Amino acid sequence: MFQNLVHAKVFQDYIEQSEFPTAPANLYDPIRYILSLSGKRIRPLLVTLGAALFDEAVLEASLPASTAIEFFHNFSLIHDDIMDKAPLRRGKETVHQKWNESVAILSGDALLVKAYEELAKCPSDKIVPLLRLFNQTALEVCEGQQYDMDFELRADVSQDEYIDMIRLKTSVLLGCALQMGAIIGGADIAAQQQLYAFGVNLGIAFQLQDDLLDVYGDPETFGKQVGGDILSNKKTILFIQLRERLQDSDKQLFEHLLGSDVEQEPDKVEKMKALYAKHDIRDFAEALKEKFTAVAYEQLRAIGVDEAKKTTLFALADALMNRKQ
Amino acid sequence: MFQNLVHAKVFQDYIEQSEFPTAPANLYDPIRYILSLSGKRIRPLLVTLGAALFDEAVLEASLPASTAIEFFHNFSLIHDDIMDKAPLRRGKETVHQKWNESVAILSGDALLVKAYEELAKCPSDKIVPLLRLFNQTALEVCEGQQYDMDFELRADVSQDEYIDMIRLKTSVLLGCALQMGAIIGGADIAAQQQLYAFGVNLGIAFQLQDDLLDVYGDPETFGKQVGGDILSNKKTILFIQLRERLQDSDKQLFEHLLGSDVEQEPDKVEKMKALYAKHDIRDFAEALKEKFTAVAYEQLRAIGVDEAKKTTLFALADALMNRKQ
């Protein structure tokens, strides 16, 4: 949706110039492959938009940091897909499926190192703070993935734990991308932190919206099977909140639905949605999403630069959150 | 053998202060575990000795770089052990064996990031060259591991390919450790490169010696099963050179031995050793090892600092290569 922004186009040109050796093919072919599946490339765009907020002239200088973020994101996809045993990514075979697990482990490792190679190309007076922020974020993303896997084996995940997991697993990277841009753009610490908080809160809101869309999305536009999370008993915000609210008879029905696949219980999705409706789960989740969205917007508004410069970031946030401001 | 050096002790104190969070336990426990299996810690010692060669006063300043190298080495062990399906490491269960593969992938990733966290603590005016060297080396180590896996599936690996594989997989990290020390010690580029070449050539010689010891080592002191490489058809320098020299009838015997396990051919080790003897393979490999060792020593001798300062590095090389100078 933002592929036509000049910032996105300049990044596209830059990353397409990335050259990887031809040998060993089993190390570098998977990297070319995952990068060719290019998603929306929101994260690198956040770096350049974060930089442009403070200094339009640093667009070029922000491209290695954008690339580092995009490489890191793709590294995490390769490794997460192994751990999640996912056969498909963006509609194509995952790396471990197309090659094998060893190839996916090692090419993921190499892509993480390539991210640091890009960091080493950033403006040299900014490398230390960029490296520190990137390292902290990378560790947090690993922690988030570990919590996500741990939670699959636990019945009693609380809402706070869930929010913290999605913050670590997906949101801090958005905050990091924006703050890296701000660092390169010469922002002061306070503005860096506000932009980081904008990204993190927007990321949490976006993940909550993802949970909502999986159940209430328009089948025409959603792209995935509506109700997929219910069918796979995924611990979404809806699941967690419902479990906390249930008592007695509804609890039995809930447990019955969790223990049934679609053959045993063809109306599993509809029956779970009925429970959500009875316990006002959708409204609750919408309100929680709005809360995080509002905090995000508040942070962006508070940054002390011309409001006109924030237009693209607000528009991007609106588009991500399906909002009309 | 060098654990009593002041440099080794200072490093030991430093790395023991490394603190990892307690949660998520499945991310950080495996890191504490692999580091507790502590091997000889030659690589961090090379960093501090490389630094001390040029400036004794930078010992403290070299500790984060030493730790980065040690963390990287342990990261590569965790991931290599998954790919090699190894049940044991340093006589203890490997991480993927003790936990599971997902835990091993993710805790390895986190340990690689921790290595970069240490790099970010290095003297700030040296971070860019240190980061570039470290990144290049890390990629080469990935390439070496990929070639090693590729070679298992190929019958026609040449000697040059083999030497290049062991250079990438194990030797460049020794060169990198020494050069990182040299950078921190303020060495000029020429001296940095000589020290790097010393490490790389010594590393290749060490790996060739490892191939020799597996067949000709003293069972009392070798620590592993003598002949293990022959029993597993491992493509060592002996194997590759023998295959290149064989013709006709001996070739048939060679192929027969490769196709036989120890139950079908109880004398597999002895018969292979007889082929090695007949074709002068041991002498050839010893000569090749000496060639790389000589190049290594020549590089160290050529560095323009007081000879007295090189004593410890020569002694370490002698000890590693079982040489009496």
Q: What backbone torsions phi and psi does residue A11 show, to the nearest 5 degrees?
A: -65, -45
Return d(Cα A46, Cα A179) in angstroms, integer: 9
Instruction: Write out pLDDT tens, residues B287-313.
Output: 999 999 999 999 999 999 999 999 999
In chain A, the N- to C-terminal Cα span, in Å, equals 17
Which strand (E) or helix (H) includes residue A22? none
- Which chain B residue has the Cα nearest residue A23? B143
- List the single best residue of A77, A116, A128, A151 to mutate versus B (max B Cβ within 10 A): A116
Q: What is the pLDDT of residue B1?
A: 60
Segment B216-228 shows an average pLDDT of: 82
pLDDT digits (tens, 9 = 90+) for A241-298: 999 999 888 999 999 999 999 899 999 999 999 999 999 999 999 999 999 999 999 9
Asked if B139 lies within 8 A of A114 by C-beta distance, the reply is: yes
Say yes or no for a CB contact (<8 Å) between B135 and A116. yes
Give yes or no for a contact between A183 and A130, defined as CB atoms under 8 angstroms apart.
yes
Task: Give the separation between CA A27 and CA A22, rounded to whole angstroms.
Answer: 9
Rounded Cα gap, residues A14 and A1, in angstroms: 19
**What's the mean pLDDT when you consider all of chain B?**
94
- Say which DSSP state A122 is in: S
Lowest average pLDDT, out of A129-143, B27-41, B112-126, goes to B27-41
**B270 burial type by CB count under 10 A (0-12 exposed, 13-18 middle, 19+ buried):** exposed
Confidence of residue B324 (pLDDT cuts 50, 70, 90): low
Beta-carbon count within 10 A of A156 CB? 9
Which pLDDT score is estimated for B207?
97
Q: Does residue B69 contact residue B176 with C-beta atoms inside 8 Å? A: yes
DSSP string, A196-235: HHHHHHHHHHHHHHHHHHHHHS-HHHH-S-TTHHHHTT--
Q: How far apart are CA A101 and CA A245, in angstroms?
A: 41
Q: Which residues of B touch A19 (CB under 8 A)?
A: none
Model confidence pLDDT, tens digit, residues B147-204: 999 999 998 999 999 999 999 999 999 999 999 999 999 999 999 999 999 999 999 9
A26: contact with B, CB 8 A cutoff: yes
| ipTM score | 0.96
Contact A101 B101 (CB under 8 A): yes
| List of chain A residues whose C-beta atoms are within 8 Å of the C-beta of residue B22 | none
Distance CA A305, CA A297 (A): 14
pLDDT for position A226: 85
Contacts of B50 (CB under 8 A, 6+ apart): B62, B177, B178, B179, B180, B181, B182, B184, B185, B195
CB spacing of A127 vs B132 below 8 angstroms: no
CB contact under 8 A, B145 and A26: no
Q: If 0-12 CB within 10 Å is exposed, 13-18 middle and 19+ buried, where does residue B141 land?
A: buried
Residues 6+ apart with CB under 8 A from A194: A299, A300, A302, A303
**Which residue of B106, B111, B131, B167 is the best one to mutate when testing the A interface, meaning the one whose CB has the most A CBs within 10 A?**
B106
In which element (H, E) is residue A300 found? helix A281-302
Mean pLDDT within B19-29: 96
- The minimum CA-CA distance between A238 and chain B, rounded to whole Å, is 24
A27 and B142 within 8 Å at the Cβ level: the answer is yes
Contact A131 B127 (CB under 8 A): yes
- What the block records as the tokens of A313 is 């970031």
Q: What span, in angstroms and rounded, lies between the C-alpha atoms of B278 and B259?
A: 20
d(C-alpha A229, C-alpha A235), whole Å: 8
Model pLDDT, residue A325:
44
Put simply, whether B79 touches A (Cβ < 8 Å) is yes
Q: In terms of residues, how long is chain B? A: 325
Q: Which of residues 119-148 of A touch B (CB under 8 A)?
A: 119-120, 124, 127-128, 131-132, 134-135, 138-139, 142-143, 145-147
Residues contacting residue B251 through CB under 8 Å, at least 6 positions apart? none
Tell me whether residues B27 and A143 touch, CB distance under 8 A: yes
Residues of chain A positioned with their CB less than 8 A from the CB of B139? 110, 113-114, 117
- Closest chain A residue by Cα to residue B151: A24
- The answer, for B149 touching chain A at a CB cutoff of 8 Å, is yes
- How far A267 CA sits from the closest chain B CA (Å)? 34
Chain B residue numbers with beta carbons less than 8 Å from the beta carbon of A31 are none
Question: Cβ separation of B24 and A120 shorter than 8 Å?
Answer: no
Burial class (CB in 10 A: 0-12, 13-18, 19+), A162: buried
Q: Does B67 touch chain A if contact means CB atoms closer than 8 Å?
A: no
**Nearest alpha-carbon partner for B36 in B74, B85, B84:** B74
Cβ-contact A42, A1 below 8 angstroms: no
Residues sharing a CB contact under 8 Å with residue A286, sequence separation 6 or more, in sequence order: A212
Tokens standing for residue A132: 């520190």
Does position B206 have pLDDT exceeding 50, yes or no?
yes
A112 and A75 in contact (C-beta within 8 Å)?
A: yes
A286 reaches B (C-beta below 8 A): no
Determine how β-strand B92-93 pairs with β-strand B88-89.
antiparallel
Chain B residues whose beta carbon lies within 8 Å of the beta carbon of residue A109: 79, 108-109, 112, 142
Q: In this predicted structure, what is the pLDDT of residue B325?
A: 44
Token code pair at residue B243? 């295959």
Written as tens digits, the pLDDT of chain A (325 aa) is 677 788 888 999 999 888 999 999 999 999 999 999 978 899 999 999 999 999 999 999 999 999 999 999 999 999 999 999 999 998 999 999 999 999 999 999 999 999 999 999 999 999 999 999 999 999 999 999 999 999 999 989 999 999 999 999 999 999 999 999 999 999 999 999 999 999 999 999 999 999 999 999 988 777 677 899 999 999 999 999 999 999 888 999 999 999 999 899 999 999 999 999 999 999 999 999 999 999 999 999 999 999 999 999 999 999 999 865 4
Q: Residue B159 in contact with residue B240, Cβ under 8 Å? A: yes
Tokens of A191: 């503005």
Q: Does residue B224 have a pLDDT over 60?
A: yes
Report the gap between the CA of B176 and the closest CA in chain A (Å).
15
Q: How close is the nearest chain B Cα to the Cα of A325, in Å?
A: 39
pLDDT given for residue B323 in this prediction: 65
Q: Please report the beta strands in chain B, taking only residues with DSSP state E, as ranges in sequence order.
A: 88-89, 92-93
Q: Which of B288, B299, B300 is nearest to B207 (CA)?
A: B288
pLDDT digits (tens, 9 = 90+) for A32-64: 999 999 788 999 999 999 999 999 999 999 999
Which residues on B lie below 8 Å from A110 (Cβ)? 139, 142-143
Nearest residue of chain A to residue B110 (CA atoms):
A139
CA atoms in the 13 A half-sphere facing the CB of A282: 13
Contact of A160 with A168, CB cutoff 8 Å: no
Neighbours of B155 (CB within 10 A): 9
**How deeply is A218 buried, as exposed, middle or buried, from its count of CB atoms within 10 A (0-12, 13-18, 19+)?**
exposed
| Set of chain B residues whose Cβ sits within 8 Å of the Cβ of A82 | 101-102, 105
Q: Is the peptide bond before B24 cis (omega within 30 degrees of 0)?
A: yes
Residue B286: predicted pLDDT: 97
The total of other beta-carbon atoms located within 10 Å of residue A37's CB is 15
CA A37 – CA A167 distance, rounded (Å): 25
Interface of B with A in 221-260 (CB under 8 A): none
